[in-house]
Amino acid sequence: MNGKNLRRGGHSISGLFLFLLIGFFAIMSITLVLSGMQIYRQVTLQADENTDRQLALSYLNNKVRAYDGGGSVFVDVRDGISMLCLRETMNGDDYETLIYAYEGEMCEQLADVGDAFDPERGGRIIEVISVWFEQVKPNLLRVDVTLADGSEHTMHMALHSQT
């Protein structure tokens, strides 16, 4: 009779051990999934921030490169707004593309040279807090961009046509 009770006790101990082992595995699995979710969130937030930064700076750099010729790129301030001016001639008419920050957005506006500046006519590009343009030297532009998340970035661009 004692031998039968011992076996039953042994089975209940091994059953309890198996139950605890499965419970431990379940808790560790849930912990792993939750920590993986947190890491994924952080990675996607970082990727979004990098995308916004890269979009804003690459956009400006590519615009300057496209218009870099014969004094077509310069900095101006109109109505208290710092802007990048890109001039071109199409079909005998002079136009300028203006890039500036207005009401939390980087904007671009194509207008006839000499038209009155209206910041509300610009097309929205990306959310920013501010954009400041400065012509450091005749052949060097500086751009300070503060993105919507508050991160600040500075970029210098050499103007090859004015060297």
Res 10: pLDDT: 54
CA end-to-end span of the chain: 103
Residue 163's pLDDT is what?
47
pLDDT digits (tens, 9 = 90+) for 125-154: 999 999 999 999 988 999 999 998 898 999
What is the per-residue pLDDT for 162?
57
H or E element at residue 30: helix 2-67
pLDDT number for residue 5? 46
54-84 confidence digits (pLDDT tens): 888 999 999 999 898 766 899 999 999 999 9
In the chain, pLDDT over 70 holds for what percent of residues?
Answer: 90
pLDDT of residue 6: 46
What is the reported pTM?
A: 0.70
